[in-house]
Amino acid sequence: MAYSLGIDAGGTYTDAVLIRDDDGSVIEAGKALTTYPDPVGGIKNSIAKLDSEKLKDVGIVSLSTTLSTNTILENKGFPVGLIMVGDYHIPEVLPAQMYCIVSGGHDSNGEESKPLDIEKVREFAFSVKDRVSAFAVSSLFSVRNADHELRVKEEILKLTGHPVVCGHELSQDLGAYERAVTAFLNAQLIPITYNFTKSIVSEMERIGMNATLLMLKCDGSAVSIEEALEKPIETIFSGPAASLMGAAYLSGLKTCAMIDIGGTSTDVALVQDGLPEMDESGAVVGGWSTRVKAIRMETVATGGDSHVFSTDDPNRKIHLGPLRVMPLCRAAVLYPGFLEKLKNTRLPPRKNISEFILPSVFYVKTDFPPIEMTTLEDMVYDVIDKNFPVSWSDMFERLGKKMPMSSVLESLVKKRLIQLIGFTPTDALHVLGDYTEWDAEASLEGAQKLDRLTHLSAKELAAFTKTQVARNMTSSLLAYLVPGISKRDVEKVLSGNYHTKFAVSVPIVLIGASSKAYAEEIRNLIQAEVLTPEFSDVGNAVGALVGNGVYRTDILVKKNAREEGDVPIIDFIVFHNGQSETFTSYQNAYEKALQVGNDYVMEKMMGTGLKDNQITVSHTEKSLKIGTDTPYETKLSFVGVGTSRYDIQADKIPDFVKFINPEKSKRI
């Protein structure tokens, strides 16, 4: 029997699933805590929960991971030298510390604007070659003519031997600066992705798995590990993409909305007719705008690990996030004796109460090395243990009867030097009995510790928290489906104080470890079909494996009015992938664009192992016309969709889909 293995290393959990190849059924799942900063440990632990004999029959392994996203967010990429070619505006802030701007570049018709200053390129490359691991280059209008980028790449390879990433290789969109950022971030990730992949391959060999390794992109498609190593930037946000593809597969639906309930945040996205809805403007990660095409998603900073707390204010307001903490219920399992410590912790003096000083809040050191510490931070950091949580009163005693400052604790948390433990939505579900993965007694004790601040019983606080989380999720979904809708209006309707409800016409599939706990709550808030399929708790790992092959490319046909002597001439240029070709008529240029787009997509997709009869290529067009004349320019966007190895025929639906959604088999 042949199997495939899907793995998703998320923010809180790492999930692994086995799918039986002959009918596409999910037969086994494993879940483990994600390990930081290296996710390989969590991947090993999740795989270890699967049948070792079945693992030996696995032919495909597909990964979705937060590695690329976290590397950029935490600014931990490898050093890269950035070269920008052309006279274009450079913002004051750049992601690169080592960069140079050289003369060169092209115009919008692909004609050279200025000669490339290759000598300055050589000088820069030679000066930084021992301080960088790779180079990135972006030239003005390289999507119309990539000659200068390719010449820079050739010269740097000859001088240094380091990898060189070109902007036109990653994006065909205009925006030289954004392409520069994309190329720079991509170059930063190459060594990290290589080491990560090497570790995964080593683990596969250790357990006797001889399989092909794939990685999920942020558009929901799986690619060969070779392409992922070449373009690791395209794996950012692969987690939400995996969840979306998993939601569609597990529900048996070609069109549905997805709510992915994670530890730090909740993500909302939509798949329509089997394809994820895309954000054409490019993904933004770590505050940097890129030209990476990713799924369009709405994110709310509410998750299972969001901090739930109240301070000693007259309104008794209960706050939910955005800070992520370790749930009390999990801490009680990880640290034997913690529950007793929690029970004995008293309320701090009223003047000192804050989000960081509460009877329900504790701290442990992380593995991150301390850097750039102030004197006060050093003092507080020194009295916090690494192997067992400490309370505010522990720190008070160890600091010589001095209360730790909230601002110092907050700074240490932001520097990731200490981990905060506190009451969370996950604890609330444990109090209510809706989700009991960890120690429910610790959750109950934590809720009771907050009763003097919230004036709510433990059950009332838990119920309030659960409702608020569901409202945040639903509000995020509505903001996604109706861009520009007023948050105030949404909250008014969701409050239940008016005789109306929102209605959502597409099914909503919930994904995540605690997804089943929120289904009824969301149904009470809006009129919608809310589904929690079997294996929805590991739906992201399923999605890492079942994504259809998808490839996109754009071709531009542009009118070029010029003069030869006194004779006006109009011709048409076809631009694609940094190359161009000129035609005397629009029709000939248009037909060439159709041919190039179709052939290019087919070639790329067949390179992943698909046959031509497994690929469908379609395209859309946007034209700019002035009067009734031929278009000034036409952009043709091609999308190739490959048949997934798990595409299901209506007469061959896995039992788990039939059981969950029997009346929807026709939608598959």
pLDDT by residue (tens digit) across 331-372?
999 999 999 999 999 999 988 999 999 999 999 998 888 888
Average pLDDT (553-558) is: 89
Four-CA torsion 627, 629, 630, 631, nearest 10 degrees: -20
For the ranges 28-32, 120-124, 210-214, 631-635, the lowest mean pLDDT is seen at 210-214
> Is the confidence at residue 662, as pLDDT, over 70?
no
> Looking at residue 646, what is its pLDDT?
57
Average pLDDT (1-10) is: 87
DSSP single-letter state for residue 477: H
pLDDT band at 321; cut points 50, 70, 90:
confident
pLDDT digits (tens, 9 = 90+) for 406-444: 999 999 988 889 999 999 999 999 999 999 889 999 999
Average pLDDT (117-125) is: 93
> Looking at residue 628, what is its pLDDT?
67
Angle CA 561–564–567, to nearest 5: 80
DSSP single-letter state for residue 123: H
Average pLDDT (587-592) is: 94
Q: How far apart are CA 214 and CA 200, in angstroms?
A: 11
Average pLDDT (109-134) is: 90
pLDDT band at 45; cut points 50, 70, 90:
very high
Highest mean pLDDT among 84-93, 169-178, 588-597, 622-631: 588-597
Helix (H) or strand (E) holding 551: strand 550-564
For strand 288-289 and strand 222-224, is the pairing parallel, antiparallel, or unpaired? unpaired
> Looking at residue 447, what is its pLDDT?
95
DSSP single-letter state for residue 402: -
Residue position matching structure tokens 């558009």 = 219
**Inter-residue contact 404 to 395 (CB < 8 Å):** yes
Residue position matching structure tokens 């902007």 = 167
Average pLDDT (591-602) is: 92
Q: How far apart are CA 452 and CA 344, in angstroms?
A: 16
Task: Give CA separation, 616 vs 270, 380, 381, 535, 639, in Å.
Answer: 21, 61, 58, 30, 8
pLDDT digits (tens, 9 = 90+) for 303-317: 888 999 988 776 668
Cβ neighbours of 386 (radius 10 Å): 10
User: What is the percent of the chain where pLDDT is above 70?
Assistant: 93
Average pLDDT (634-643) is: 84
DSSP single-letter state for residue 611: -
Average pLDDT (24-30) is: 89
Angle CA 541–544–547, to nearest 5: 135
pLDDT digits (tens, 9 = 90+) for 282-302: 777 666 777 777 888 888 888
Residue position matching structure tokens 């043709």 = 636
Average pLDDT (77-88) is: 86
**Inter-residue contact 381 to 418 (CB < 8 Å):** yes
Q: How far apart are CA 610 and CA 601, in angstroms?
A: 12
pLDDT band at 486; cut points 50, 70, 90:
confident
> Looking at residue 583, what is its pLDDT?
92
Highest mean pLDDT among 86-90, 139-143, 191-195, 641-645: 139-143
φ, ψ of residue 331 to 5 degrees: the values are -60, -35
Structure token pair of residue 217: 């992109």
Burial string for 307-337 (b: 16+ CB within 10 Å, else e) reads bbbbbbeeeeebebbebbbbbbbbbbeebee
For the ranges 198-202, 568-572, 627-631, the lowest mean pLDDT is seen at 627-631
Beta bridge partners of 266: 261, 300
**Inter-residue contact 561 to 572 (CB < 8 Å):** no
pLDDT band at 92; cut points 50, 70, 90:
low
> Looking at residue 375, what is its pLDDT?
92
> Looking at residue 595, what is its pLDDT?
93
Mean pLDDT of the chain: 85
Amino acid 14 reads T
Helix (H) or strand (E) holding 552: strand 550-564
> Is the confidence at residue 330, as pLDDT, over 90?
yes
User: What is the percent of the chain where pLDDT is above 90?
Assistant: 37
Q: How far apart are CA 550 and CA 548, in angstroms?
A: 6
Burial string for 129-168 (b: 16+ CB within 10 Å, else e) reads eeebbbbbbbbbbbbbbbbbbbbbbebbeeebebbbbbbb
Beta bridge partners of 558: 573, 633
Q: How far apart are CA 551 and CA 221, in angstroms?
A: 8
> The dihedral of CA 380, 375, 326, 542: what is its sign?
negative
> Is the confidence at residue 174, as pLDDT, over 50?
yes
HSE of 164 in the Cβ direction (CA atoms, 13 Å)?
Answer: 22
Contacts of 631 (CB under 8 A, 6+ apart): 557, 559, 586, 623, 624, 625
Neighbour order of strands in the sheet with 362-365: 326-327, 418-422, 362-365
For the ranges 90-104, 235-249, 569-583, the lowest mean pLDDT is seen at 90-104
HSE of 440 in the Cβ direction (CA atoms, 13 Å)?
Answer: 12
> Is the confidence at residue 390, as pLDDT, over 50?
yes
Structure pTM? 0.77
**Inter-residue contact 233 to 444 (CB < 8 Å):** no
pLDDT band at 643; cut points 50, 70, 90:
low
**Cα end-to-end distance, the chain, whole Å:** 25
Q: How far apart are CA 20 and CA 546, in angstroms?
A: 12
pLDDT digits (tens, 9 = 90+) for 496-526: 888 889 999 999 999 988 889 999 999 999 9
